[in-house]
Structure formats: structure tokens, C-alpha cells
Structure 1
Amino acid sequence: MNIKNKTVVILLFCLAVILVIVALLFPYNKRLNNLDFSILDENDNHQYELDEELNFKINDSTLIEDKKAVWYFGNGDSIVSKGSVNYTYEKAGKYLVTLKIDNKFDFSKQINIVNGRALTARDSISKIFAPDFGYVGEEIVFTGYSPSSSNWYWDFGETGTIDSYEKQAIYIFTKPGIYTVKLETDKTGYPVRKEIEIYPLYEPFKEPEKIDSAGIVINDIKKRLQIIANLGARDTRTYKEQVNYLKNKYICNNLSDVVVVVNEEKYNDFLSYCQGLHYLDGKSTIIQEVKLDTIKCFKQINITQKTKKNKATDEN
């Protein structure tokens, strides 16, 4: 074989190799045309902020499941991962985020990291968000608010020690009483306080199987109303216990949405009726009869009652 023929053979061989490589790479390149990634911010305000954890997510990780993927964040940091990654920028500025596949194919997006809202002295003032009352054995959620604070110290007033170090804490009281909840942070000079009243836990009402419980419910409500009527005006604690018992056990709406018909001629909402029974007619009213429009979640209650006679008046 002469030199000319050898040259032709070598050229044909090289061309065949190139065609094979192109044929192998073309489907892969075509698949990668569909590759993309998204950037999600932690607080979902569509603004990438300093010290905020960002999530970088590949739209379809199956396109690169057999390839090497490296994330470059434009500041010298990089993470090797074929799936989504989390990253937090420590300096504000514009960065070019690049996803590189097999050290050959680049997919880039520019991202702008901003300082966000500047904190003020008011942001160091702590607040407590929690209910005003609860029950023994109930999980009660306490939430602290102070955007500039990092450390939290909760004292719920029952143990005499620090009970939690979380921004949002859950606590279960074991005894009834009025407790002073204290919250300190790394920014407060003195703790902030909030009072919460804890009531005894009532045993759940157990209905006999397949038995009409209307009489039991009516007698129970009548009993509770009579307790309210018999209380002294200063006994607000027992008053609250009885009202909350009736509300939690039998009423599904607000107390002010339940209609009370007294002796078939007077009308009140349930809360106003109980307040009047306690503060105005206390120790002078006898609850004679109670009727409900429905046993469960009643919206109207008809009450027949009378006023106790004064013996001194009768003698005169």
C-alpha cells in the first residue's frame, strides 16, 4: 500500500471515529436541553436575603442520574450533588450560580443577595403569644417574638427553673392555678411576663352505649347553671370554670351566638345570661327546667327559673 492510500485510510478512520463520538453525544446533548434548576427562598417572599437558607433544585434529576453534577455559587464555594442543595450566602451582592455536568456542560443563573430589612431597637423588645387560660394535661403552645434575638429562655412558673430554650415552646401544666410565664432572650434586660390560668381537667363525659342521654345532658347543664347562680359575686374563678365547662362540652359556637329564652318571655345570649346569673341574681335564683333545641352543639336553650322568696318580705 503506497503512502497516498495509507493517508486516505487514516482520514477515513478518523472521520468514522468523529462520527461515532457525535452520534453518542447527540442524544445526551438533546436531553440536557431540557435541564434547568430553580432557586427557592426560605421565607417565600421571592427575595434572596443575606443569611437566608436558599434551596437550589434541579427540575428533573433523572436527566443526570448517571453523571457528575457540581454546584458553583459564584463566591468560591461549591457542592457536589445530583439533587437539590441548600446554601446560605454570608455577604450581599450579585453571584453567578452554575450547575456543571461532567465538567463539560454549564447551566448558569445570576442571583442578587440583599441585606433585607434592617433591624431596629424595637425588634429587640420581646413579646409572648399564648392563650389566657388552659387545662391541666393540655399541650399549650407559647411563641416568643423578637426578630433580633437568637437565644430564648422560658420559665412557665411551675418548676422554678428554665423549662425551654426554643423560640416556640410547648408546655403541659400538672396542677391548676394562676402562673406567671417569663421569657428572657439575649437582648432583654429583664424578662417579659404573661399570666395564664390553668383549670382542672374534667373527666370526659361517657355516654352509655345506645342509650338516650338527653336527660343526663339536661341535668348536667341545669346543675352547672345552678352552681353559677349560687356563687358569690367575687368567686370569679369557679364562675369561669363552670362557663368554660359548658362551652367546651356542649357548645360548638361562640357563647354570644347561643340564644337563651328565660321563662318564655326574656331573651339573652348565653354569655350575658351567665354573667347576669352570677353577678346580678346570685344566690336568689332557682333553675327549674332546661330545654335544648338539640343535645349536641345546641344553639338555643329555654330556661325556666324563679326567684327565691325573701322571708322578711313574706312576714311583712
Structure 2
Amino acid sequence: MNVKNKTVVILLLSIAVILIIVALLFPFNKKLSNLDFSIVDANDNHQYELNEKLSFKINDSTLISDKKAVWYFGNGDSIVSKKNVEYTYEKAGKYLITLRIDNKFDFSKQINIVNGRALTAKDSIPKIFCEEFGYVGEEIVFTGYSPSSNNWYWEFGETGTIDSYEKQAIYVFNKPGIYTVKLETDKTRYPITREIEIFQLYEPFKEPVIVDSSSIVLNDIKRRLQIIANLSARDTRAYKDQVNYIKNKYICNDLSDVVVVINEEKYNDFLSYCQGLHYLDGNATIIQEIKLDTIKCFKQINITQKTKKTK
């Protein structure tokens, strides 16, 4: 083979090798050309702020599922991850965010971290967020708010000591009652307070008290008749009050339509009986027992009575 032919062969082999390398690399490069990432701020105000949690999201993580990926945040910090990551900057400034694939391919974006809203004296005054009431044994969440505070000291009023050092605390009360919740921070001189009422989760079962309504009515009427018997004949106002009470509460017809049976042998209508009991017998009668034909709207009342013995 002459020199010219040999040169042609070497050239063709070189081109073939180059084509093979390009063929191998081209699909990979084409695949990565679609790779991108976005930066999302926590409060969604489209401003990247100091101490704000930022999310770095890959548009399609399947593009690098078989590759090594490292996030570089431009301040010396890095995270090895092929998935979305979160990061918070502690200093304001401009940073170059780089997603490096297999130590060869870089995808970068610049980010500007700002101080955000300037804190005021009011931001040092904490607030307590919680429910107005809860139940024994229930997990109750207490949240403190104070942008300028870093340390939190909770007292929930049941133990007499500090119960939590977290910004958001969970507490379970063991007894019902009204508790004064106290919160102090590294910015407060005195604690702020808020009351919460804790109820028993289940009311203890109590046996129902059985009330004999008929005996209540009988005793009430008997007591009223005895008052009439004991009143002075001149005390007409008190007499009318007792009669009207019995009429309005227990009698549905006219008093003259209600039959009174005295000691099972004498008879009167109810109005005449009350008048005689008050004006004639006076303080000489003792009402011993009464019976009604019906508790509500009675039309007949049987009365057993006796006359007091005179000395």
C-alpha cells in the first residue's frame, strides 16, 4: 500500500472514530438540553428574602435519574441530590446557583437575596394563636408569632414550670378548668398571656333522679290550704293570693265547679270550702291528707282534716 492510500485510510478511520464519539455523546447532550430548574419563594411574593426557605425544583428529574447531580449555592454550600432541594440564605447578596451534572455540565442562574421588610419594635411583641377551648386528653397546638424573636418559653398553667421551648408547641391538659397560658421570648420583659378553657371530654354518667310529680302537686296544694287555714280572718290579701295560686296552677274550670269531699262525709264546692276554712274555722284546722281525681285540671279533691284540740 502506497503512502497516499495509507493516508486516506488513516483519515477515514479518524473520521469514523469522530462520528462514533459524536453519536455516543449527541443523545446525551440532546437529553440535557431540555434540563432546567426553577426557584420558588415560600411566601410567594416573587422576592427572595433573607432567612426565607427557598425551593429549587428540577423541571424533569427523569432526565438525570442515572446521573450524579450537585447543587451549588454560590456561598460555598452544596447539596448532592438528583431531586428538588430547599435552602435558606443567612446573608443578603447576589449568588450564582449551579446544578452540575456528572461534573461536566453546568446549569446556572443568578439569585439576589434581599433583607426584606425591616423589623420594627412591634415585631418584638409576640402573639399567641390557639383555640379558645379544648378537652382533657386532647393535643392542643399553641403557635407563637414574633418575627424578631428566636427563643420561646411556654407555660400552660398546669405544671407551674416551663412546658416547651419551641415556637409551635403541643400540650395535653390532664384536668378541666380555665388556664392562663404564658409566653415569653428573648425580646419580652414580661410574659404575654391568654386564657383557654378545658372541658371534660366525657361527662360522668349520673343516674336520673326519679321525681314523683303527683306527690309534689299534692304536697303543694296541701301546704297552700294549710296556709289559708292559718291566716287571720282579716288577712284577705294573703288568702286571695293562695286561692288564685291553686286556681291558676291546677284548676281549669271555675272554682264553684270543683267538688270538695271533706273527711268522706261532707261536701262543698272549692270556693266555699276555702272561704269557710279561712273565715270560719280559722286557725283550728289541720289538713292531714288530700287526694285528686287527676293531677292536671282536677275536678274533685278529697280532703282529710281534723280540728285542733283546745286547751
> 1:82 & 1:139 partners in 2: Cα distance?
38
> 1:143 & 1:204 partners in 2: Cα distance?
32
> 1:131 & 1:67 partners in 2: Cα distance?
49
Partner of 2:3: 3
The alpha carbon displacement at 1:45 in A equals: 2.8
> 2:115 & 2:141 partners in 1: Cα distance?
32
> 1:192 & 1:61 partners in 2: Cα distance?
48
| Deviation sequence 1:187-241 (CA, Å, 0-9, x none) | 1111111222323333499xxxxxxxxxxxxx9xxxxxxxxxxxxxxxxxxxxxx
1:65 corresponds to 2:60: no
Read off the aligned partner of 1:36 and give its amino acid letter.
D
The alpha carbon displacement at 1:130 in A equals: 2.5
Partner of 1:85: 85
Read off the aligned partner of 2:18 and give its amino acid letter.
I
| Deviation sequence 1:33-76 (CA, Å, 0-9, x none) | 21111112233332211122222121212212222222222334
> 1:95 & 1:130 partners in 2: Cα distance?
39
Larger-Rg structure: 2
The runs of 4+ residues in structure 1 deviating greater than 4 Å are none
The alpha carbon displacement at 1:12 in A equals: 1.1
Partner of 1:134: 134
Instruction: Assess, with a 3 A threshold, how the Cα gap between structure 1 residues 204 and 117 changes in structure 2: closer, same or farther.
Output: farther
| Deviation sequence 1:234-268 (CA, Å, 0-9, x none) | xxxxxxxxxxxxxxxxxxxxxxxxxxxxxxxxxxx
Partner of 1:314: 241
* Number of residue equivalences: 215
Read off the aligned partner of 1:98 and give its amino acid letter.
T
SS in 2 for 1:183: strand
Instruction: Assess, with a 3 A threshold, how the Cα gap between structure 1 residues 53 and 201 changes in structure 2: closer, same or farther.
Output: closer
Read off the aligned partner of 2:7 and give its amino acid letter.
T
Instruction: Assess, with a 3 A threshold, how the Cα gap between structure 1 residues 157 and 30 changes in structure 2: closer, same or farther.
Output: same
Partner of 2:20: 20
> 1:200 & 1:69 partners in 2: Cα distance?
55
Partner of 1:33: 33
Partner of 2:120: 120
> 1:81 & 1:201 partners in 2: Cα distance?
47
Read off the aligned partner of 2:241 and give its amino acid letter.
D
> 1:129 & 1:73 partners in 2: Cα distance?
35
Superposition TM-score, scaled by structure 1 size: 0.61
The alignment's C-alpha RMSD in Å is 2.7
Partner of 2:182: 182
> 1:169 & 1:25 partners in 2: Cα distance?
55
Superposition TM-score, scaled by structure 2 size: 0.62
Instruction: Assess, with a 3 A threshold, how the Cα gap between structure 1 residues 113 and 200 changes in structure 2: closer, same or farther.
Output: same
Partner of 1:53: 53
Matches within 5 A, 1:222-301: none
Structure 1 unaligned blocks of 5 or more:
206-218, 220-308
Read off the aligned partner of 1:3 and give its amino acid letter.
V
Read off the aligned partner of 1:18 and give its amino acid letter.
I
Instruction: Assess, with a 3 A threshold, how the Cα gap between structure 1 residues 165 and 33 changes in structure 2: closer, same or farther.
Output: same
| Deviation sequence 1:97-136 (CA, Å, 0-9, x none) | 2222233322222211111111111111112222333332
The alpha carbon displacement at 1:138 in A equals: 2.9
SS in 2 for 1:18: helix
> 1:71 & 1:136 partners in 2: Cα distance?
48
* Identity fraction in percent: 81
SS in 2 for 1:115: coil
Structure 2 unaligned blocks of 5 or more:
209-223, 228-237, 244-311
Read off the aligned partner of 2:174 and give its amino acid letter.
T
> 1:90 & 1:178 partners in 2: Cα distance?
42
SS in 2 for 1:170: strand
